Amino acid sequence: MTRRTVVDIATQVAAGSLSASTVLEENLAAIAAREHEIHAFNLVTADKARERAAQIDADVKAGKKVGRLAGVTIALKDNLCTRGVETTCSSKILAGWKPPYDATVVRRLADEGAVVVGKTNLDEFAMGSSTENSAFGPTRNPLDTSRVPGGSSGGSAAAVAAGFSAASFGSDTGGSIRQPAALCGLVGVKPTYGMVSRQGLVAFGSSLDQIGPFTTTVADAALLMEVIAGHDPLDSTSLPQPAPQLVNVLARGVKGLRIGRVADMPEGSSPDVLARLDAAFDALRAAGATVVDVKLPSMSFGLTAYYLVAPAEASSNLARFDGVRYGLRVDAKDLNAMYGATRAAGFGDEVKRRIMLGTYALSAGYYDAYYGKALKVRRLIADDFAKAYEQCDAILTPTSPTVAFKFGDKTSNPLTMYLCDVFTIPTNLAGHAAMSVPFGTGDAGLPVGVQVLAPALGEATMFQVAAELERSS
């Protein structure tokens, strides 16, 4: 099957040279052929998608104006609310829940003519880096089914990598878009905090979460970002400004840009990944950029700060799953017993572990020692980035320390799994922009992702660099 890009589909469907139904049926055929071995989806909404595609084709035929994403097939991580369509967060505690509203991002995509093919699998409540923590079973990497697709948005990454949809959306709290994008050979974007509305994204770490796209090209990601970004009055942390212009910066090149190389980068990356990072610096240098050494001394403390801040916020956010308003209820003699029994039965091990860690870090007597300290480390990391960005316009690091790993490799000790996110976490703590771009292959012929970091609201520069890397790869 030929890979159709978002830009190609939108252009051709709007022009009437390709039908939305044809695109959709290609994707549904791919799903029928391989979904049983990949398990990218919790739910495939084929009927709704066919209705939607037929409507778009009818609109085109009737000469009506169609949106910027007419006929573009997308998959949505199953923590994005879709009105009347089951949204589970891959947790037993939410099984059967049909949200009474659409997430802002979902509404904006629909308004521009996108066709939703289904809801994708994730680590339960987005907690994990391999999609092995889903209550509904793991997702497999379409490039090598003995390996994980990354996580937590593993289903969204796998859906695009397997040709089940032209693009997909995930959420990124500590790397959950960028790491699976890297492991599946895709482009994945974590926007500046507040650039994309979180309304209708089931909250994990409210000061860290952002929604972003998975695509096969940088241009596709730029177009999707222009559609989903911009102020939303329904999210009080949404930045009061319009979506950035990204499509028109892609051809600018990197001449004159200063690209930071982290001189004191945390260790532990495998040689194949570091070789691709070196090649990325060479490519940008060849294209006219200068490479400068910067220091981020607090970067290696990011994991510690994150694994206190994120569980603390999660323990508070997940308090709402109590068997009263939605999802699972385990009956018991009184309200408190019902809460305890429902939450014990509904949450998986990793979610319980993080609720416990977060509750502990916030509890009287321990707050200053753990949560309070973590917030101070968070400040140091933001300050380090601020200093680094005085010397450079963007920074390159690996996205993931290794290529896609095998199932079970990192499940015995939670800390080894957490180390997957060492390069992605600092950006979430600082609230900056970051994206992963495929840049060649490493061990076992598997894709390596290079991470482009930019300051808050630095998306235009970030996309310029990403487009150059794509041209050189």
Partner 1 sequence: MPEPISRNTVAKVARLARLDLTEAEVDRMTDQLAGMLEHFRDVDALDLSNVQPLNQPIPLTNVLRDDVEQPSLDRDEVLGNAPAAQDGRFRVPPIIGFEE
Positions marked active-site: 77, 152, 176
Task: For the CB of residue 400, give the shortest distance to partner 1 in the complex, in Å.
Answer: 20
Task: For the CB of residue 89, give the shortest distance to partner 1 in the complex, in Å.
Answer: 14
Task: For the CB of residue 122, give the shortest distance to partner 1 in the complex, in Å.
Answer: 20
Element (H, E) at 342: helix 335-346
Residue selected from 340, 407, 411, 441 as contacting partner 1 according to rule CB under 8 A: 340
Cβ closest to partner 1, residue 288 vs residue 372: 372
Residue 343 sits in the site that holds partner 1 (CB under 8 A): yes
Residue 205 sits in the site that holds partner 1 (CB under 8 A): no
298 closest CA partner among 453, 428, 427, 426: 426
Give the per-residue contact string, 147-186, with partner 1 (x = CB under 8 A; - = no).
----------------------------------------
Residue 366 sits in the site that holds partner 1 (CB under 8 A): yes
Residue selected from 108, 119, 378, 410 as contacting partner 1 according to rule CB under 8 A: 378
Residue 97 sits in the site that holds partner 1 (CB under 8 A): yes
Task: For the CB of residue 302, give the shortest distance to partner 1 in the complex, in Å.
Answer: 10
Residue selected from 146, 248, 363, 416 as contacting partner 1 according to rule CB under 8 A: 363
Nearby residues of 368 by Cβ (< 8 Å), 6 or more positions away: none
Residue 329 sits in the site that holds partner 1 (CB under 8 A): yes
Q: What ranges make up the beta strands (E) of 173-239?
A: 187-190, 210-215
Give the per-residue contact string, 297-326, with partner 1 (x = CB under 8 A; - = no).
-x-xx--xx-xx------x---x--xxxxx
Element (H, E) at 43: strand 41-44
374 closest CA partner among 351, 390, 358, 352: 358
Residue 122 sits in the site that holds partner 1 (CB under 8 A): no
Q: Using the Cα atoms of residue 115, residue 460, residue 103 and residue 356 in order, give the sign of their dihedral.
A: positive
**In angstroms, what is the C-alpha Rg of the chain?**
21
Residue 347 sits in the site that holds partner 1 (CB under 8 A): yes
Cβ closest to partner 1, residue 158 vs residue 351: 351
**Structure tokens of 109?**
């995509």
Burial degree of 415 (CB within 10 A; 0-12, 13-18, 19+): exposed
**Crossing angle of helices 6-15 and 20-38, rounded to 10°:** 150
DSSP character at residue 465: H
Task: For the CB of residue 415, give the shortest distance to partner 1 in the complex, in Å.
Answer: 6
Task: For the CB of residue 372, give the shortest distance to partner 1 in the complex, in Å.
Answer: 6
Residue selected from 32, 286, 344, 444 as contacting partner 1 according to rule CB under 8 A: 344
Residue 233 sits in the site that holds partner 1 (CB under 8 A): yes
Residue 376 sits in the site that holds partner 1 (CB under 8 A): yes
Residue selected from 274, 275, 287, 341 as contacting partner 1 according to rule CB under 8 A: 341
Query: What DSSP string runs through 376-409?
Result: HHHHHHHHHHHHHHHH-SEEEEESSSSSPPBTTT
Give the Cα separation of 430 and 442 in Å (integer). 29
Residue 287 sits in the site that holds partner 1 (CB under 8 A): no
Residue 338 sits in the site that holds partner 1 (CB under 8 A): yes
Residue selected from 125, 164, 169, 193 as contacting partner 1 according to rule CB under 8 A: 193
Residue 136 sits in the site that holds partner 1 (CB under 8 A): no
Nearby residues of 34 by Cβ (< 8 Å), 6 or more positions away: 142, 162, 164
Residue 251 sits in the site that holds partner 1 (CB under 8 A): no
Residue selected from 5, 11, 22, 207 as contacting partner 1 according to rule CB under 8 A: 207
Give the Cα separation of 231 and 240 in Å (integer). 5
User: Helix, strand, or coil here: 145?
Assistant: coil
Nearby residues of 237 by Cβ (< 8 Å), 6 or more positions away: 193, 194, 198, 206
Task: For the CB of residue 96, give the shortest distance to partner 1 in the complex, in Å.
Answer: 8
Residue 334 sits in the site that holds partner 1 (CB under 8 A): yes
